[in-house]
Every structure is written in structure tokens, then in C-alpha cells.
Structure 1
């Protein structure tokens, strides 16, 4: 258990954890949705390093932009500090994953004959579609029009053209992690719903 997790439990009295589904089949379903057809063989996140990185990349950024969107909502400086601490860790995780994937951007993910960069771009597109909020997630290689100050197409740190982090609202996050495009319909990583007060408002 990390020190941050211990501090969060100590500060809040504990946060009950909803059922989280990280089975290979869950990721296979997500990547079928990413490409719009069934991958053959089914995508296995635990098969090799590339697959594991691609699967891992589908999660931290969602939490990261969720924290960015949540901090302004809190009136208490205590909770803003707590979420800022979580945000720092999520941002670090996302940067490490994207840097590792960027190094292998042009490698083919076998046996699909699709590059790492395309996997990430398509995954970002799916998250944007599910959230229904425009572009708030990007691939690791992007058009100059989306790059920092419109000067680069490399995109290890996903941010808008002024190099500030995107933000998402709780309903947008739920639409993504449920994989259903609806904050009212659980599924995906949270088959029984995300489980806490904000999520329960939509169930």
C-alpha cells in the first residue's frame, strides 16, 4: 500500500472500493470497441509488454483529467489538497506510460499489424466519443493543430495547445470507465457501477 493511499484512508476514514473488472476479456471487449471490429485473436493485456502498456494506458489518463475537472468543485481546501496529491501521482503514471509507448510508436502490435501509435490514437478517439465532450484525450502522435503551441506533433504529455491539462466532469468519466457512453448504464471496468455518492446519483 502506497503512502498516498494510507494518507487517503487516514484522511477520509476509508473509501470503499467498487468491483473492478480487469479480466483479459474486459480489455478484449474494449479494444474491439476501439477498432469497431473483433480483433483476432482477442486482445490479451497480459500476453506481453506492449499489450500490457497499451492496456495500462487506457486507465490512468481518465483519472488524471477527472481530478483536474474535480478540484475546482471542492470548497474545502483540505479536499483540494488531497485530490491535488492524487493528481500528481496520476499525472506521473500517465507520463511514464506515454513515454514508454512513444519510444515504440512505430512498432507493430502483433499479430494485428497495427502500430502502437494507431492503437493509442484509436483508444483516445473512443474515449472522446464515449465521453461526448470533444477532444480531451489524444494519441502520442498528433496533427500540429493539436500540438503544443501548434509546433509539435509529438505528444508524450497530453494537453491542449496552450500546454494545460484537459478536464473532464464526473459524468464524462463514468461514460468512459463504464464503456457504455452513459453515466446511467454501468459496464466495462465497473460492471456494478462506480459505487460512491457521485456515481450513485446517476443509477
Structure 2
């Protein structure tokens, strides 16, 4: 089974018109564009070509760069931890929709689709990196090996940067409504953070959206909340159990599901199964 539907988003209006056969192109890339058109026309795919503004494309570019860095992270981990099988991941639209429904405590209609547009994709990306970040903060003090501490500290630095980029992009759009719902980006992040708090543990807040009450902001003075921290503006820690509770979506490290339908691998995760 291959792809059957394709949505192409480009920040060049001229190229969009060319691919739609509405505008002839005679520039230096004419042969490349002609080949792209030929490939599209020879497939059985249902495809659409849309123009988007460069701002939206920038968000996609940043997220793509983060995806590449994740591959490098895995290689670094394999050099220190001699490896265990990668767990099965469920990154389907249905899974993200289920999480969002849990966050709002009722089904959204139509179901939330993380791959529909850049805003939805950013919100979906908001879900996971921060959980890993807090997991690293909680893990480092418990590591005995200098080599392991060095590895996790390096991973934490990159994960923190990724989370800051995602939160910054969402903060810029905090009052924008998430199509087709009458719900702002700000409300989405608040709901998702509350869900992670609820699933994680009963030890108090470890999570905050991109906009908070002033009393909960840094030094009790600001409402904008791009960088999440405790009363001392230090990163929140989470234990391995808390991380599993969240990524399984069950609040129980013994009950697999969510993004890890067969459970996570590694000694700690497997010890609960």
C-alpha cells in the first residue's frame, strides 16, 4: 500500500500556479518542474497544491531540522548504551486525536488531525519533547557514570532548545484559532499541559501552557510562558514512571498504550510489564 493522497504546500505563488497548469514557467528550473509535474500526473494519487506564506513554511523547516537532530541523538545514545530494540511507535492521526480528546474531556469534531496544517503539527510537536526534557532533568542526578551524565546533559541541552522553539512559535500564534474549532492555540497548550500533569503524578505541577496567570509566571510578574520553570525558574524533573504514565496515556506504567502501543523498551520500562 502506497500513498493515495498528497497535499503540497509551497511558499511560491508562481510555482503553485505552474503546477496547477495556470502559469507557464520558463526559468532555469523548468526541467525540474516539468519532471515534478510529470511524476504527479503519472501517479494515481489525489493531490492538491496550495500556497502558504513563508512564515508557515519556516515552522515546517524548523521542525524538519529537529527531526534530523533526533537521528543524531539516537546515534549518540547507541555509542554509550549498547542498544535495545526501538519500540513500536503510534504517531497516527487517530492517536493524536485521542490525546486531544482526553485533554478537552470530550471528542472534538472533526477529529484533530496533526498533519492537516502547520499549526496542528506544532501542537502535536508540543506534546512529546517537553516530556523527554523533564525526564532528562529527573534522570541526571540518578546517573552514576560520568559518561552517561555527559550524554544525558547533551541530550537535555538539545531537547530544551527544541521545546523553546516550538513554544515560541506557538506563543506567537497564541490567540489564533485552531481551524476548524473555536479554540485558540493558547487554550490548546493549556489543556495539553494539564493532561500531562494529570497523567504524570499527583506530586504537583510539572507542566504549564504558553500563557499562565501572572502569579504562576516568572517571579510572579509575567504571563507569557515560553520557558517553563518552577518558582526558581529551574526545569521541572520527572521520574521514569511519570514519563511512562504520560506517553502511555494511561497514568500507569503497567498499562501500555498511547504512543507506545506495545510498551517502551529498556530495563526500567520492561520491569513494569
1:70 paired residue among 125, 128, 139: 139
Unaligned runs of 5+ in 1: none
**Equivalent residue number for residue 163 of structure 1:** 233
1:47 paired residue among 116, 140, 150: 116
Q: 2:257·2:263 contact (CA, 8 Å) conserved in 1?
A: yes
Q: CA deviation at 1:35?
A: 0.3
Give the Cα separation in 2 of the matches to 1:74 and 1:58: 26
Q: Flag the structure with more relative contact order, 1 or 2, with Cα contacts below 8 A and sequence separation at least 6.
A: 1
Which aligned pairs between 1:72-151 and structure 2 lie closer than 5 A? 72-132=141-201, 133-151=203-221
Unaligned runs of 5+ in 2: 1-67
Give the Cα separation in 2 of the matches to 1:159 and 1:52: 24
Q: Secondary structure at the match of 2:77?
A: helix
Give the Cα separation in 1 of the matches to 2:249 and 2:97: 12
**Equivalent residue number for residue 17 of structure 2:** none
Q: CA deviation at 1:5?
A: 3.0
Q: Secondary structure at the match of 1:39?
A: coil
1:56-109 Cα offsets, whole Å, 9 max, x none, are: 000000000000000001111111111111111111110000000000000001
**Equivalent residue number for residue 74 of structure 2:** 5
* TM-score, with length taken from structure 2: 0.72
- For these two proteins, the number of residue pairs brought into alignment is 203
Give the Cα separation in 2 of the matches to 1:65 and 1:112: 30
1:107-135 Cα offsets, whole Å, 9 max, x none, are: 00111110000000000000000112321
User: Does 1:189 pair with 2:269?
Assistant: no
Give the Cα separation in 2 of the matches to 1:75 and 1:10: 17
Greater C-alpha radius of gyration: 2
Q: Secondary structure at the match of 1:124?
A: helix
RMSD: 1.1
1:16 paired residue among 77, 85, 88: 85
Of stretches 61-70 and 159-168 in structure 1, the one that deviates more from structure 2 is 159-168
Give the Cα separation in 1 of the matches to 2:83 and 2:262: 20
Q: CA deviation at 1:158?
A: 0.8
* TM-score, with length taken from structure 1: 0.97
1:140-190 Cα offsets, whole Å, 9 max, x none, are: 000122111111111001111211000000111111000011111001000
